[in-house]
Homo-oligomer: A and B are copies of this chain.
């Protein structure tokens, strides 16, 4: 592929690299404005309580306090992501629903005064019994988190494709397993932060958001303002992983405080508050039943899940749909049933976290599939190769898959990892596991304003052709999208990456783009950037045609050189043509737009989880287990991915490495834990244990390239898909190492140790 391309397919340096490594890059929390105030939010100390009264008078009297606000000072319009489930208020009105629920906010001359002021706000609560165990939330007699949602059911999904019961009846072997997922948190390195400023009736918010256009939309909606009166700018962003997609109390309260005080207000969450705000991975209870034939071919599957939604909907409806919708992507079977209940609990709301709904169901299904393989005495690689999805197929829930390199990924992973050798010559305490994954390359159904094109971009060429600027509403949250979008615009133009500049993540200066979620930017924002570049190229070729006296369709432009396709000697520098164009025809300006094709079936919720293209990937993990302590050492990881055409190999592999860091953490260490009053026990980076650089195992990341017809030059996603196999792959490796299965995440040393102890006590051999 990339031999034909001059800019894409190459590991060009990040466009933001120097600024970031020299510390010059400024993040939202680094911004300072004259006269700026600091704001903090008062949160609930109770998991569930009625608010009897709020007395802010003592706080208001404290010198240095410029404003104190409660629900009385803000619109009482509920908000949320799914319009059918708007259940959140800027500040609680009658009840608090989790420890951390927003009650009031202050704006003060400095941070210290903020904390003192918060302590002076007197809230009288009537403490209510709380729902803390999501698997009991639907039981009779449980308190209701929201009175209007009986049995605490936030969302219920029941989908059936084909005839699963019949498939099970006809199956050689039917097995059911149940697994429990963990509540995880994204833990981005940069805390959530927002600075709000008013200029007359117009609001500007600098926000650490993955989608400035989306934040703009929600701020405008909540405050009843025209969108054009709200400007949202995302400076450099230090990681989001799904947790910075939603509008937070920081943006809402900050805007109100700035309005009341007439001064800029900077709001931020400290690390503990970030954990309380949460919106991380849902814990899920997952029952999976599969029927297979003698060879292990899957005939049908049933997924029956319950999700712990926490106190609010957040992105959870989408998460619930994703959990089921993406499950049939990696393996081919015709009969599929999906049942899901997302329940409310008096815990922080869960939302989207890298891989969104997919990683835990994949963990469950991949673990389950190994159990099935073990039942039948089939090698885990073989059962996956047997069932692996092929290109140009349709899932039972009507998702169209164009390209799919899953089989090649399996074969390559098998070879690279030495799978067969390691299976043949087992070492004590060692185990090897495999799992597959697949993910969307952008959602066919966007999070809001579903009629809009999904991405737009402009390209302007400097008047002497020595630079070009890409204007995109896409947001680089650390993944490198600014870099690859510039690569794609440059490739489209026939230009050099090194001369690209970018304006991004600003609702005022860039055209609309939904932002960084659902791994959409490479395919969607990338197609818009490519098209904007191509529109410039058409103008360049047309100008060059006049300069060379050759027809435009005999000309092309690559990497800054315009050339005749028929007469090899005839060339012009891009810069020369661009300058002539500016002089004779005005500025070179290109425009690109992307709208996905119509996707999905006709059943309820059919569009949720659809994508123009799906990535596929395989991970093999090898572990060594210390039988005395349960300690798991990751000996090696092999990742082989089909993400279509790779735009920037270095960034591609960076995504794989990052996803593995998160996925391994979620597999073995990470879990947000609560006490019996709903308070987080480990809301800090000492006790919520992430992988650090020193914890990283050796990783081998490899590519199986397909050329996706729906993607720009064949590209698909990589950002989230590589998270999906990880938990399953380590679950299977640990199972392989010790011969018993731990059925809940994280696969902690303690659980492993206990499982080994039980196994020994039961007298079983490995």
List residues of A whose CB falls within 8 A of some B CB: 18-19, 22-24, 26, 30, 32-35, 197, 199-200, 226-229, 231, 262, 264, 451-453, 456, 458, 460, 462-469, 471, 499, 501, 503, 507-509, 511-512, 575, 582-583, 586-587, 589, 591, 593
Contacts and interface: CB of A to CB of B under 8 A. Distances in A.
Given A23-B34, A229-B466, A453-B582, 18 more contacts: A23-B35, A26-B34, A227-B466, A228-B462, A228-B464, A228-B467, A453-B586, A456-B463, A456-B582, A458-B460, A462-B507, A463-B512, A469-B509, A501-B508, A503-B508, A512-B587, A587-B591, A589-B591
As for how many copies of this chain the complex holds, the number is 2
A465 B220 CA distance: 14
A466 B23 CA distance: 37
A460 B511 contact: yes
Contacts of A501: 228, 231, 508
A589 B586 contact: no
A469 to B, nearest CB: 6
A451 B451 CA distance: 45
A583 B449 CA distance: 10
A150 B53 CA distance: 89
A598 B584 CA distance: 14
Given A199-B19, A467-B229, A583 B451 contact: yes
B582 A586 contact: no
A26 B226 CA distance: 27
A22 B200 CA distance: 11
A140 to B, nearest CB: 47
B197 A24 contact: yes
A495 to B, nearest CB: 11
| Of listed A18, A23, A24, residue having the most chain B CB within 10 A | A24
Contacts of A466: 226-229
A36 to B, nearest CB: 10
Contact of A582 (B197, B264, B512, B582): B512
Contact of A33 (B24, B199, B264, B463): B24
Contacts of A453: 582-583, 586
A673 to B, nearest CB: 37
Contacts of A469: 508-509
Contact of A508 (B26, B262, B467, B512): B467
Contacts of A586: 453, 456, 591, 593
A464 B453 CA distance: 12
A65 to B, nearest CB: 21
Smallest CB-CB A-B distances: 7 pairs: A228-B467, A228-B466, A586-B593, A226-B466, A463-B512, A511-B587, A18-B199
Nearest to A33: B24
Contacts of A30: 34
B458 A589 contact: yes
A18 B202 CA distance: 11
A467 B587 contact: no
Given A199-B18, A586-B456, A226 B23 contact: no
B227 A18 contact: no
A452 B509 contact: no
A653 to B, nearest CB: 22
A227 B499 CA distance: 10
Contacts of A35: 22-24
A349 to B, nearest CB: 28
A465 B471 CA distance: 18
A264 B26 CA distance: 14
Contact of A452 (B23, B452, B463, B512): B463
A501 B200 CA distance: 13
Nearest to A460: B511
Contacts of A575: 226
A575 B509 CA distance: 18
Contacts of A593: 586-587
Contacts of A471: 509
Contacts of A462: 227-228, 507-508, 512
Nearest to A594: B586
B587 A589 contact: no
Nearest to A580: B451
Given A23-B34, A587-B593, A463 B511 contact: yes
23 contacts: A22-B262, A24-B35, A24-B264, A26-B34, A226-B467, A226-B575, A227-B463, A228-B462, A228-B465, A228-B499, A229-B466, A229-B467, A231-B501, A452-B582, A453-B582, A453-B586, A456-B586, A469-B508, A469-B509, A503-B508, A511-B587, A512-B587, A589-B589
A467 B510 CA distance: 12
A48 to B, nearest CB: 39
Contacts of A464: 226-228
Contacts of A33: 24
| Of listed A23, A32, A34, A228, residue having the most chain B CB within 10 A | A228
A512 to B, nearest CB: 4
A332 B19 CA distance: 60
Contacts of A451: 583
Nearest to A586: B593
A586 B18 CA distance: 34
Contacts of A23: 34-35
Nearest to A25: B34
A18 B512 contact: no
Contacts of A499: 226, 228
Nearest to A19: B199
Nearest to A512: B463
B452 A583 contact: yes
Contacts of A512: 462-463, 582, 587
A507 B501 CA distance: 11
A495 B280 CA distance: 43
Given A23-B34, A453-B583, A589-B591, A509 B511 contact: no
A591 B33 CA distance: 34
A456 B508 contact: no
Given A24-B33, A228-B466, A456 B587 contact: yes
Contacts of A18: 199-200
A499 B575 CA distance: 36
Contacts of A509: 469, 471, 503, 509
A423 to B, nearest CB: 49
Contacts of A468: 228
